Amino acid sequence: MADLSFKDFATDQEVRWCPGCGDYSILKSTLKALAEGGSDPAKTVFVSGIGCSSRMPYYIETYGFHTIHGRAPAVATGVKLANPDLDVWVVTGDGDGFSIGGNHLLHALRRNVNLNILLFNNEIYGLTKGQYSPTSRKGTKSPSSPGGSLDAPIGPGQFALGAGATFFARGVDIDQKRLPGLLIESKEHEGTALVEILQNCIVYNKDVFEDVAAKKTAADTQVQCEHGKPLLFGKNSDKGLRLNTANLSLEAVTIGEDGVTEADILIHDETSLPLAQMLVNLAPPLPVAMGVIYRIEKTPYEASFRNRKTGERRRQVKDLLRNGYVLDRRGIRD
Amino acid sequence: MADLSFKDFATDQEVRWCPGCGDYSILKSTLKALAEGGSDPAKTVFVSGIGCSSRMPYYIETYGFHTIHGRAPAVATGVKLANPDLDVWVVTGDGDGFSIGGNHLLHALRRNVNLNILLFNNEIYGLTKGQYSPTSRKGTKSPSSPGGSLDAPIGPGQFALGAGATFFARGVDIDQKRLPGLLIESKEHEGTALVEILQNCIVYNKDVFEDVAAKKTAADTQVQCEHGKPLLFGKNSDKGLRLNTANLSLEAVTIGEDGVTEADILIHDETSLPLAQMLVNLAPPLPVAMGVIYRIEKTPYEASFRNRKTGERRRQVKDLLRNGYVLDRRGIRD
Amino acid sequence: MSSATDRYVVRFAGDSGDGIQLQGQQFTIASALSGHDLATLPDFPAEIRAPVGTRYGVSAFQIQFGGNRVTTPGDAPDVLIAFNPAALVVNLPALPPGSQIIVDESAFTEQRLKRADLASNPLDDGSLADYRVIAIDIASLTLQAVAESGLGNKDSLRCKNFFVLGLVLWMFEQPRESVAEWIEAKFANNTAVRDANLAALNAGHAFGETAEFGHELKYEKLPVAPLDATEYRTITGAEAMALGLVAASELSDTEIMFCSYPITPASSVLHHLTALEDCGASTFQAEDEIAAICAAIGASYAGKLGVTSSSGPGIALKTEAMGLAVSAELPLVIINSQRAGPSTGLPTKTEQSDLYQAVYGRNGDTPLPVLAAATPGDCFTMATEAARIAMRHMTPVILLTDGYIANASELWPIPDFDAIAPIETRKLPHATNAFERDATTGARVWAEPGNANQIYRVGGIEKDITTGNISYDANNHQAMTDLRQQKVASVADFIPDQGVEQGELEGSVAVVAWGSTYGTVFQAVKRAIAAGMSVSQVHIRHIAPLPKNLGELLNRFDHVLVPELNSGQLATLLRDKLLLNVVQLNKVSGQPLHVSELTDAIHQLLPGATEMSVASQHSTTVAPQHSKPVAPQHSTTVAPQQGAK
Amino acid sequence: MSSATDRYVVRFAGDSGDGIQLQGQQFTIASALSGHDLATLPDFPAEIRAPVGTRYGVSAFQIQFGGNRVTTPGDAPDVLIAFNPAALVVNLPALPPGSQIIVDESAFTEQRLKRADLASNPLDDGSLADYRVIAIDIASLTLQAVAESGLGNKDSLRCKNFFVLGLVLWMFEQPRESVAEWIEAKFANNTAVRDANLAALNAGHAFGETAEFGHELKYEKLPVAPLDATEYRTITGAEAMALGLVAASELSDTEIMFCSYPITPASSVLHHLTALEDCGASTFQAEDEIAAICAAIGASYAGKLGVTSSSGPGIALKTEAMGLAVSAELPLVIINSQRAGPSTGLPTKTEQSDLYQAVYGRNGDTPLPVLAAATPGDCFTMATEAARIAMRHMTPVILLTDGYIANASELWPIPDFDAIAPIETRKLPHATNAFERDATTGARVWAEPGNANQIYRVGGIEKDITTGNISYDANNHQAMTDLRQQKVASVADFIPDQGVEQGELEGSVAVVAWGSTYGTVFQAVKRAIAAGMSVSQVHIRHIAPLPKNLGELLNRFDHVLVPELNSGQLATLLRDKLLLNVVQLNKVSGQPLHVSELTDAIHQLLPGATEMSVASQHSTTVAPQHSKPVAPQHSTTVAPQQGAK
Ligand SMILES: Cc1ncc(C[n+]2csc(CCOP(=O)(O)OP(=O)(O)O)c2C)c(N)n1
Ligand SMILES: Cc1ncc(C[n+]2csc(CCOP(=O)(O)OP(=O)(O)O)c2C)c(N)n1
Ligand code: SF4
Ligand code: SF4
Ligand SMILES: [Mg+2]
Ligand SMILES: [Mg+2]
């Protein structure tokens, strides 16, 4: 297979999201990740549910299956178990993945099937014209909640860790610099990888992530997690996260202030569950955690599944048919 | 309403679990909790799904609804939103609640509807004759996994905290001393309470909790969590849990050994999420956490729901019908 | 120009940003206030906000207005207003030769022609030769009109829609007042925009009056329609449905708890109902359709009327829980706003293909009543009827509507609410057994938690017919099975006999339809009767059980023609329940049935009855009724003409 | 004693702990090895492990064995073996007067009589006067027999079942060898238990020989059944289904991926298949039914044959995803082991009430083929047939079976596997378009990921008929709708013409059935023919599409009698598809249809044809066929006699 460029992964289908939708940038990063990560179009399958986000497979020149609302992780599990040689990606939205599809996401995560799940979180049901979703903040006004929504939102990271995920990462739609790399890392994870991508639905939930995602303030509003490196942030990388052991929480400190030195800054350990549990919940005014927040190694489900030698044909039906006591009209035999 | 005894809460229906099933003890503790907690039979509703455990409503002299597999939290949400005066209990099993019903449990927990959910965890599908369940340990042999199950189990506590639960407790079926009190506490929690009850299915998963639940070793294999009290265990209460801040984990220590004093023992704070996240995952050889592991206060969903003044009749349909432009054959009016 | 017709069809088309739907709605109100009957059809693009100027991004709104029963938005527009090349080109196939086209010529730039995939400019290349085209530089005219407002160029151009609306109102001599009022209320806080829009509206109106080709645009003012009720308003199906539900709440003095999960085209009922939460309703957005119906069932168990609403794929998910409601004998209303299937299908397109699912689509012997609304306004009536049946018979009820009805509007005679019979519920606080049954219907008591008299347990396992406890007894299961059938059958004792909408009670052809084809069938049968043919219209609102006299009624016709937007689902039901040999007319293209298609089918059945020639590319055979049974799906199908998409 | 019959019915009944099912299975094998045809029915209690000695805890196993086509386990036992009072009392209503009862008299203690809710001892109180009762102190006799084994009292008593089995084998002169072999293999590692069981078996046998009332127990040895295949084995429906699936795998050289979620009575197929994972199958236990069908669809997308299996409530949950498989045109096998509904219903009881759901139960116009297995062994054939159709037509296929078939066993002629035609799939590695279609069937290519030629995207939104991309085009939607109908209709070109199982190809009555009533219908029609009546048996295995000649065939009979364990679902289908006026015989009690019930119904249709008097508490009318259509559900139902539970 010749080296493919990111354009080779684009289909001839006209992309039909609203002009200015964050999905365009994510699509671009995905195409880049496929090219740069050396994906084989014939062996890659994109499975999606229903939602604006879930249209993505039609725009990617690999095998693609646009299934039904919420069920993409289940369909993708079937694809992967049937043929573990395939590189299986799932595209889902916050409604698709957390409303109707919450159960399948839970079970994919705990089983650790080697799927690369991209969750386009725009905190709204885009395709059905803007009702609040399970990740919408309390008080979100929408056609189905004109007085503001009442439900506490699900935290995708907290949920994933609760489900026993082995990989959780977070990125921003417009972060063309980091997102492709993050997608390559998630694809390479052997097990279920969940990547939450903060996505701007400019029509129904415009700029809901502005305080976190805006490029010009990103250095201060985001902390990039890199395994083994200190959790620094700020334009000059002079701010960082410190562990408060008294109340088991993370706090933001500035190096050089109040006697804080670089040694006080917590080193990111992507294999630490308690740390990840704290990181995923960071919210403004603290910086929001980006990058690979949690990653551990664990045998993926399909490997155990195929290890059982399932599906191999080592006995003949002809013999099975005559299992047990057989009455042979030419004489009884066992 | 006169004071009712625990027998007043029993129905005339013959209880039909297998002789020796842990469900009998749980039923007894529940009847006790109802009596001792001063429940009003007319205002109490037990909603269940399908499974051995879910038969319980037929044995309790309150309103009862034995619904369909996995959906009890959804039905119960409807009951509670329709009439918040009712005290709504949910009875579910590990299959009912975590397999088919995982999504509803997730959403009940994050919404914080005031339901008291009893999860009978026997780590098996009892009613359908013993297939492994989502809480079964990896390697469980069952009719559907003769070679041992492959799936990593869900941790009910870890899941609940991931879902944003406001109350999580754990108890043991045969612990007639503590279970009734625990059920009263969970009932009194204003929001979704999830109580995991370790239950012995003597037919299909006999003694799977023996190492934790056995009465004679319980003092050493369980740690009782009480808010504000040190996390002590052991026959002589001379062992305890200490926080290792280096790797953010809990370790078991003995007072008097290696210079450990009572001051080193962690005080249980039921409002601390990071602590709860550690406690729920304790497993042998560490003692398993029992009692109220996590509890925080948060407005229950139905209160906000009814605060919206939904369902009140403050406008007349007669007037609504003539909303907007009306063409009056006797003359146009607005 | 003048015309002999008593009705006109106008279609507005452009980008979503052109305010097409708003123009349509305002024109609708103005028409209603002129005393015209009307029917409208908004036609949204499948995409949320498609790129400007693309074919697939075209948004349209069609209205038919005028006299003596307007029941459809019209097969073909008399006037098309196209804001850009894409809007022109996608609507052209529907225009009959000679019809009027108004375009904004400023939009026919090279770039925008390209956006619409046009190689040449239709205004120049002769492709519009068969039409009466008026090209107006709407952009410049609007800019001129609003020049004084002080708005910038972009904001000024946004007033184009009111310029056009002003012109169109002038064309048909419809009043401007309601539009002006709307603008004043809407932009009360932004006087510059308010004034600009008003100026545009008036300028458009004046333009018609003064333009040299004005006479080409002037249509004869239509007479007021012969309406017989006293008060009318315009209403969409979704609005009527929401109103019907709160009406049922007031009539039964029971709160409605509406539990649903968004899905096109059902969501609009939820949206409308959120505005009526102070009228006896509450709304709950569940995590999925299963949770929605289960929460509704829970609400019904707790003594409120649970209502759930979805479209085909979501209804599929609810079928298991419907069985629970049947088994537990709880009232419940399940609304299905049908869309084109299978699977995700064409969510924004209409179809009537969930009748099978409604009538037969459950495991076990699980009968329940099924109703279908015929028109937008009928949703009000059928919503209260569904709630009434649910509470009288203690049963879930399915109410079928569709995307067309939900979004379309009609002129609706406002019902006299005081004349509607209250709804009695089976809440009997003094009963001591929840399974005490009504002698006529078999319905049990709606026992309410909170009442110490009625404590009971119930569930989805077969229950003892008198106690509700679990019973494995064979005779009891048979008795419960029979009871469930009889409970549903007893609904037929309460519904009106089936009548005809038009035509005689016997004759050559009965056109039997259900749901949103009502309007089309009405027009086609009206024309057939006018042409002297023996044709009657029978419209079924009670699908299960069917009205008791239906078989007898239909046996009085030589042919029963069943037009449906599916492959023959009511036809199946009529064969099943009445052993009736019907002629099917099926169309499954996501498009509404056209009057002409039905007219053709009628003519095929009665070839001698008219001089009109029937051009059809399909060979169709029509088997007479009462003949030796034949496999109807093979031999008696009349296929609609295609191509006129 | 001697008897003129060529077959006997024996029923074993006791607590689960009495090893009833094991006795039954071993007796079944012994019967088969004697060359007897047979049919069995295990009858489990609804509870997992009910308390000892209770009525609801009774476990039973019934077998009919003997000559010339045994197709049912028998309506009424000739011999009942009751291990305790409860087992006696719950089975008594099914026993005809004069039948033989063997009881363990040691179990008729006061305490155990109380457990069985009995006020007096039936052995003394005269209530068994009409039966031939033999009371044996089985406990003591067993203890004596195994005294030498050195086992304790409790373990010794556990050998009771083999004592009884020995006795019963003696009664009917069936061989002991296979039982002895089984004991030896099973307890190879526990010689004490092995020897005790062997001793008990032999002692039971010897007891018959020596007991003074031995002659009362001795039945005439039945002749070998006239079997014509060379090899037979016993098989249950669940086993045959699992074997059929792996057979399909081998025949198509395609792995089967079986994805399911446990549910009674479907789980046993999963359980059997887990033992066949080295034969071309893999099994995946999903988190729920929706995930199960979706994973199966995913497997099919990836080029393995996805199979999913459930029972009614679980199938309900799968209906949305079935639409996806139809839309994506993927092969898929959906097995429904029906149980009594509605809702949770009676999970351990059998019913045929999911035919509506299978044929009509989806949103949209979503046709798919539906098959039904007739007997346990037929599950093998129909499983391969379902897989064959799925892969040939690229469509999901529903295969109906039920709890009765799943658990019952029959003597099955082992098929000659080499003679079964291989299954060709639509995997065409050199095709470059996944939507290239077969000219006859319309089936697309089964494009497999991994193949660089066939990269494509597909989904549940309506797709372009040639590219698979999303298409909103109206003509395309109509074309796809038509294609979906034709694809399913084309299945009829590949299936055999409908024949009769017994009787002539024309005549007075055709008894038309489907599914597990096969055996009952067979016996009833056989008797009717023997009594000189003009009755034929027509059994439908292809429910959708129906065999092409079915209408023609049935029109050659005066009456079409349709017995079903539901309220008339095949009857609906026959009216729908063939406009056929049928007479219904419906029973929905969770119990199998009895031969006598059908015989009564036949006699009601042909009252002059026999001298037998028909006692029925129901007034029934039978409308002749071809008469003026009437509402069939009102006037032409023959109700089964009840009470004989
Ligand atoms: C069974 C079913 N229920 C509901 C829907 C309607 N529906 C389609 S997408 C969607 C939610 C989309 O939200 P999200 O997943 O966040 O995707 P987004 O459009 O925001 O990218 C809903 C409710 C459906 N298609 N199918
Ligand atoms: C829709 C549906 N799917 C499957 C089933 C079968 N079923 C009944 S209970 C059960 C699992 C029971 O397990 P659990 O919830 O752990 O309860 P337990 O019996 O162990 O108390 C299953 C799979 C069903 N009744 N309905
Ligand atoms: S609605 Fe929102 S998410 Fe959907 S395409 Fe438009 S901007 Fe994007
Ligand atoms: S199967 Fe297990 S859980 Fe069910 S009743 Fe028996 S012992 Fe209890
Ligand atoms: Mg979203
Ligand atoms: Mg369990």
pLDDT digits (tens, 9 = 90+) for B98-154: 999 999 999 999 999 999 999 999 999 999 999 999 999 999 999 999 999 999 999
Q: How far is CA B263 from CA A150, A216, A245, B228, B242, in A?
A: 43, 49, 16, 13, 10
Distance CA C346, CA C498 (A): 33
* CB proximity list for C185: less than 8 A, separation 6 or greater: none
Q: What are phi and psi of B171, to 5 degrees?
A: -145, 180
Rg (C-alpha) for chain C, rounded Å, is 27
At C239, which amino acid appears?
A: E
Q: What would the two tokens of residue D20 be?
A: 């009833």
Q: Given pLDDT bands bounded at 50, 70 and 90, which one contains residue C637?
A: low
Distance CA D314, CA D430 (A): 39
What is the share, in percent, of chain C residues with pLDDT greater than 70? 94
The residue written with tokens 């996401």 in the block is A105
For the CA of B201, the nearest ligand: 4
- Give B224-235 pLDDT, tens digit per residue: 999 999 999 999
B112 in contact with chain A, both atoms CB, cutoff 8 A? yes
- Calculate how far, in angstroms, residue B202's C-alpha sits from the geometric centre of ligand 4: 6
Contact call for B145 and D49, based on CB within 8 A? no
Nearest CA in chain A to D455: A63
Q: Give SS3 for D525.
A: helix
Contacts of A112 in chain B (CB under 8 A): 152
Quick one: D147 and D93 in the same domain? yes
By residue count, chain C amounts to: 645
Quick one: C294 and C367 in the same domain? yes
Closest CA to A198 of A211, A184, A217, A185: A211
**By the 8 A CB rule, do D570 and D546 touch?**
no
Whether D379 is in a domain gets the answer yes
Structure confidence at residue D4 (pLDDT):
65
Q: Which residues pair with D260 in a beta bridge?
A: D285, D309
Q: Given pLDDT bands bounded at 50, 70 and 90, which one contains residue D212?
A: confident
Whether C496 is in a domain gets the answer no
Quick one: D377 and D308 in the same domain? yes
| Element spanning C520, H or E | helix C518-530
Contacts of D262 in chain B (CB under 8 A): 125, 128, 131, 144
Q: How far is CA B117 from CA A153, A326, B47, B120, in A?
A: 20, 53, 9, 10
Structure confidence at residue A324 (pLDDT):
72
Nearest CA in chain C to D367: C342
Q: What would the two tokens of residue B21 be?
A: 């099933």
What is the share, in percent, of chain C residues with pLDDT greater than 90? 86
Whether A278 is in a domain gets the answer no
Distance CA C401, CA C403 (A): 7
Beta strands in D246-403 (DSSP E): 256-260, 281-285, 305-310, 332-338, 370-372, 396-402
Quick one: D213 and D237 in the same domain? no
Asked whether residue C614 carries a pLDDT value surpassing 60, the answer given is no
D touches which chains (3+ CB pairs under 8 A)? A, B, C
Structure confidence at residue A3 (pLDDT):
85
Mean pLDDT, to the nearest integer, of D505-510? 98
Whether B154 is in a domain gets the answer yes
Whether C266 is in a domain gets the answer yes
Quick one: C615 and C577 in the same domain? yes
C451 in contact with chain B, both atoms CB, cutoff 8 A? yes
Which atom from ligand 4 is nearest to the alpha carbon of B202? 7
Nearest residue (by CA) to ligand 2, atom 1, is D314
Asked whether residue C16 carries a pLDDT value surpassing 90, the answer given is no
Q: Given pLDDT bands bounded at 50, 70 and 90, which one contains residue B328?
A: low
Structure confidence at residue C635 (pLDDT):
35
**By the 8 A CB rule, do C457 and B11 touch?**
yes
Closest CA to B130 of B47, B202, B221: B202
Closest CA to B70 of B45, B47, B86, B43: B47
The minimal CB distance from A100 to the residues C274, C288, C344 is found for: C288
Nearest CA in chain A to D456: A63
Asked whether residue D472 carries a pLDDT value surpassing 70, the answer given is yes
Q: What are phi and psi of C103, to 5 degrees?
A: -125, 155
Question: Of C393-402, C517-526, D230-239, D281-290, which gets the smallest average pLDDT?
Answer: D230-239
Asked whether residue C46 carries a pLDDT value surpassing 90, the answer given is no
Closest chain B C-alpha to A150 CA, distance in angstroms: 7
Whether A170 is in a domain gets the answer yes
**By the 8 A CB rule, do C102 and C136 touch?**
yes
Mean pLDDT, to the nearest integer, of D336-355? 96
Which atom from ligand 1 is nearest to the alpha carbon of A97? 15
A touches which chains (3+ CB pairs under 8 A)? B, C, D
Closest chain A C-alpha to B310 CA, distance in angstroms: 11
Contact call for D633 and C363, based on CB within 8 A? no
Structure confidence at residue C631 (pLDDT):
36
C548 in contact with chain D, both atoms CB, cutoff 8 A? no
Contact call for D47 and B18, based on CB within 8 A? yes
Domain that holds residue B184: 6-208
Which atom from ligand 2 is nearest to the alpha carbon of D344? 25
Whether B54 is in a domain gets the answer yes
- Calculate how far, in angstroms, residue D568's C-alpha sits from the geometric centre of ligand 2: 30
Q: Which residues pair with B291 in a beta bridge?
A: B170, B225
Rg (C-alpha) for chain D, rounded Å, is 27
Q: What would the two tokens of residue C312 be?
A: 């085909």
Structure confidence at residue C331 (pLDDT):
98
Domain C-terminal end among D390, D419, D448? D419
Whether B123 is in a domain gets the answer yes
Beta strands in A114-191 (DSSP E): 115-121, 167-172
Quick one: C38 and C111 in the same domain? yes
Nearest CA in chain B to C292: B74
Domain C-terminal end among C419, C453, C472? C419
| Element spanning C560, H or E | strand C557-564
Contacts of A146 in chain C (CB under 8 A): 274-275
- CB < 8 Å from C in window 52-71 of A: 52, 68-70
Whether C621 is in a domain gets the answer yes
Structure confidence at residue D225 (pLDDT):
86
Count of domains forming chain D: 3
Whether B78 is in a domain gets the answer yes
Quick one: D199 and D244 in the same domain? no
- Whether cis (ω within 30° of 0) applies to the bond prior to D122 is no
Domain that holds residue D14: 7-217
Asked whether residue C230 carries a pLDDT value surpassing 60, the answer given is yes
Structure confidence at residue A246 (pLDDT):
87
Sign for the CA dihedral angle at D419, D425, D428, D429 comes to negative
Q: Given pLDDT bands bounded at 50, 70 and 90, which one contains residue C618?
A: very low
**CATH number of the domain bearing residue D256:** 3.40.50.970
Closest chain D C-alpha to A45 CA, distance in angstroms: 7
Whether A189 is in a domain gets the answer yes
- For C328-390, give the secondary structure using H, E and C: HCCCEEEEEEECECCCCEECCCCCCCCHHHHHHCCCCCCCCCEEECCCCCHHHHHHHHHHHHH
Whether B267 is in a domain gets the answer no
Structure confidence at residue D619 (pLDDT):
31
Structure confidence at residue C625 (pLDDT):
34
Structure confidence at residue C615 (pLDDT):
35
Asked whether residue D3 carries a pLDDT value surpassing 90, the answer given is no
Q: What would the two tokens of residue A14 be?
A: 């006209």
Distance CA B276, CA C519 (A): 63
Mean pLDDT, to the nearest integer, of D27-32? 93
For the CA of D49, the nearest ligand: 4
Contacts of D276 in chain A (CB under 8 A): 315, 320
Quick one: C195 and C299 in the same domain? no
Asked whether residue C280 carries a pLDDT value surpassing 70, the answer given is yes
Quick one: D136 and D272 in the same domain? no
Which atom from ligand 3 is nearest to the alpha carbon of A53? 3
Nearest residue (by CA) to ligand 2, atom 4, is D263
- Whether cis (ω within 30° of 0) applies to the bond prior to B156 is no
Q: How far is CA A214 from CA A179, A180, A207, A221, in A?
A: 15, 18, 9, 9
B touches which chains (3+ CB pairs under 8 A)? A, C, D
Closest chain D C-alpha to B132 CA, distance in angstroms: 9
**CATH number of the domain bearing residue A182:** 3.40.50.970
- Give A224-283 pLDDT, tens digit per residue: 999 999 999 999 999 999 999 888 999 999 999 999 999 999 999 999 999 999 999 999
- Calculate how far, in angstroms, residue C413's C-alpha sits from the geometric centre of ligand 6: 57
Structure confidence at residue D609 (pLDDT):
62
Cβ pairs A/B, distance under 8 A: 100
Distance CA D32, CA A327 (A): 7
Contacts of B245 in chain A (CB under 8 A): 243, 245
Distance CA C597, CA C527 (A): 13
D264 in contact with chain C, both atoms CB, cutoff 8 A? no
Quick one: D213 and D286 in the same domain? no
Structure confidence at residue C632 (pLDDT):
39
- Output the average pLDDT for chain D: 92
Nearest residue (by CA) to ligand 3, atom 6, is A18
By residue count, chain D amounts to: 645
As for the ipTM of the complex, it is 0.96
The C-alpha angle with vertex D317 and arms to D314 and D323, in degrees rounded to 5, equals: 125
Q: What would the two tokens of residue C350 be?
A: 């209409």
B126 CB under 6 A from ligand 4?
Answer: yes
Closest CA to D469 of A59, B181, C557: A59
Quick one: C262 and C168 in the same domain? no
Structure confidence at residue B215 (pLDDT):
94
Closest CA to D350 of D405, D299, D391: D405
**CATH number of the domain bearing residue C553:** 3.40.50.920
Distance CA A159, CA A173 (A): 21
Asked whether residue D626 carries a pLDDT value surpassing 90, the answer given is no
Asked whether residue C628 carries a pLDDT value surpassing 50, the answer given is no
**By the 8 A CB rule, do A135 and A201 touch?**
no
Q: Given pLDDT bands bounded at 50, 70 and 90, which one contains residue A2?
A: low
Distance CA C540, CA C358 (A): 15
Closest CA to A325 of D180, D72, D8: D180
Beta strands in C244-316 (DSSP E): 256-260, 281-285, 305-310
- Give C135-184 pLDDT, tens digit per residue: 999 999 999 999 998 899 999 999 999 999 999 999 999 999 999 999 99
- Taking the model in full, what pTM does it have? 0.95
- Output the average pLDDT for chain A: 95
Mean pLDDT, to the nearest integer, of D35-57? 89
Count of domains forming chain A: 1
- Calculate how far, in angstroms, residue D628's C-alpha sits from the geometric centre of ligand 6: 57
Distance CA D103, CA B7 (A): 39
Mean pLDDT, to the nearest integer, of A312-332? 78
**By the 8 A CB rule, do A72 and A48 touch?**
yes
The minimal CB distance from B110 to the residues A100, A151, A161 is found for: A151
Quick one: D238 and D366 in the same domain? yes
Q: How far is CA B42 from CA B12, C300, C302, C452, C453, in A?
A: 17, 17, 12, 5, 8
Contact call for A68 and D460, based on CB within 8 A? yes
Distance CA C135, CA C108 (A): 10
D87 in contact with chain A, both atoms CB, cutoff 8 A? no
Whether D481 is in a domain gets the answer no
Asked whether residue C643 carries a pLDDT value surpassing 50, the answer given is no
Contacts of C577 in chain D (CB under 8 A): 631, 633
Mean pLDDT, to the nearest integer, of C570-584? 98
Nearest CA in chain C to A102: C287
A60 in contact with chain B, both atoms CB, cutoff 8 A? no
- Give D570-587 pLDDT, tens digit per residue: 999 999 999 999 999 999
- Output the average pLDDT for chain C: 92
Contact call for A43 and D450, based on CB within 8 A? yes
Closest CA to A323 of D258, D272, D252, D187: D272
Asked whether residue D396 carries a pLDDT value surpassing 70, the answer given is yes
| Element spanning B157, H or E | helix B156-162
Contacts of B298 in chain A (CB under 8 A): 152
Domain C-terminal end among C419, C445, C471? C419
